Amino acid sequence: MNFKWKKKYTAAIIVAIVGAVLTVVTYFATDIYQKDEVALITDDKIKDTLIEKNEDVYKNQDQTRQQILHLKILSGKHKGETYTTKNVYYPSQLTTQKYHAHQRIFVNIKKGDPAIVNPKRDWVLVLVVTITLALMVTISGKHSIALVISMAISWVLFYLIIVWDVHLNGSHIILLFGLADIIFSFFSLLIVQGFNKKMLVTWLATLLGVFVSFALCYVIMKLTGESEMKYETGDYATQDPRGLFLAQTLIGILGAVMDEATDIVSSLYELIQTKKDITMKQLVQSGRTMGQEIMGPLINVLVLIFIAGALPETILYLRDNNTLASTFGFTLSLGATQSVISAIGIVLTVIFATGCSLFFIKDRDWKSLFKKEGENK
């Protein structure tokens, strides 16, 4: 056991060291970027001037400020040149950016005038990935390799699905993302669990949870005429808003139920392996108890993620003197609907995961499910 932990810690330290080196290399990298040029703000202290104070009709206050930045270009055909530019920003930083001394940024130079594009944040991404991988290796050991491969394949598949949808111009988006759910879940479970009976049972329970809950809610939406569904509030541009909303919902349900199905099926499988004489009724009771303990935290996590995503826009709407009902309609209605549908999927998956786990029992006595406690076999 100690040897295994030493191997985990050694691997995690190696990942952390390699990641730290890559973070430093990425921070100082300049010549790998083609579109924009890298510049360094050379100021030790940036001159920051108040231009005006702003206040809207609802008494929300902000300021317009201006920074004088001295830049040294670190890459591209203007490498080594120095420039002075202005950056106008608002302290709220909703649509503008405040820059800091010795910060590295991307600029686009046209006719001798540098336009600031964005801060150079790629090294931060490398650092975050390094910390994540190091923690995964520490906790999961060699299984973290499968997790990383699973995530990489999911990203590739997601990109291919998006490209395909763009090619089809969104004409079959629900069918496309339904297929994506099937493929995502299969490969994720295959890589993490391997191809075996437990993986297939988990996959079946996941798909049942996703598509039954989606179909149930789709029927309810049809029966109610989709009233109060404000698709126009979504950031859907010129795409079909209804189709995109339903595609989002399909992906969201999968994220909610796959983890739950995996936990329940894996736990019941281990229970059967350690207690060979367990009855179908006892297994169902164990699955129900497990589901009751998992459902609450999962649904809470779902709601908290939704609230966190909607919080900034909700506060902005309320500060602009909108009513609570109006704010809910424009910022929360679609997200709340998706959360409810995912919560239904979580509840139904307890039933499906427990039911599918019955296939692990070799001698299945279906009649025992309906017998009362203490009744003779």
Q: What is the spatial distance between Cα 9 and Cα 13, in angstroms, rounded to a whole number?
A: 6
Distance of CA 120 to the CA centre of its chain: 23
Q: What is the pLDDT of residue 304?
A: 85
Give me the half-sphere count of Cα atoms (radius 13 Å) on the Cβ side of residue 146: 12
Query: In Å, what is the CA distance from 49 to each residue of 64, 77, 86, 278, 317?
Result: 9, 32, 11, 75, 29
b/e 284-323 (16+ beta carbons within 10 angstroms → b): bebbeebbeebbeebbeebbebbeeebeeebeebeeeebe
pLDDT value at 226 more than 70: no
Predicted pLDDT of residue 377: 46
pLDDT band at 47 (very low <50, low <70, confident <90, very high): very high
Lowest-pLDDT range, 68-77, 86-95, 208-217, 357-366?
357-366
Q: Residue 376: is its pLDDT beyond 50?
A: no
For helices 241-274 and 173-193, what crossing angle results, to 10°? 30
Query: Once rounded to an integer, what is the mean pLDDT over residues 336-346?
Result: 85
Residue type at 314 in one-letter notation: T
Tens digits of residue pLDDT in 58-100: 777 788 899 999 999 998 888 899 999 999 998 877 778 899 9
Torsion of CA 232, 233, 235, 237, to 10 degrees: 20
Check residues 139 and 73 and name the one with the higher pLDDT. Answer: 73
Mean pLDDT along residues 178-189: 89
**Confidence (pLDDT) at 203:** 93
Structure token pair of residue 224: 């109610």
pLDDT over 90 for what percent of the chain? 21
Q: What is the pTM of this model?
A: 0.72
Q: 268, 286 in Cβ contact below 8 A?
A: yes
User: Which among 229-238, 300-309, 323-332 has the top mean pLDDT?
Assistant: 300-309
Domains assigned to the chain = 37-119 (2.40.50), 142-370 (1.20.1640)
Among 6-20, 114-128, 361-375, the minimum mean pLDDT is found in 361-375
Range from 101-110, 281-290, 307-316 that averages highest in pLDDT: 101-110
pLDDT of 210? 92
Phi-psi map region of 371: left, alpha, beta (phi>0 left; psi -120 to 50 alpha):
beta
Four-point Cα dihedral 35, 40, 43, 47, nearest 10: 20
Residue 283, Ramachandran bin (φ over 0: left; ψ between -120 and 50: alpha; else beta): alpha
What is the Cα Rg of the chain in Å? 27
Amino acid at 341: I
- pLDDT band (50, 70, 90) for residue 102: very high
3-state secondary structure of 239: coil
- The runs of H, that is alpha helices, within the chain are 2-28, 122-140, 143-168, 173-193, 197-223, 241-274, 280-319, 324-327, 333-357
What separation in angstroms does the CA of 370 have from each of 62, 158, 284, 358?
A: 67, 44, 11, 15
pLDDT at 273 > cutoff 60: yes
Higher pLDDT, 57 or 358: 358
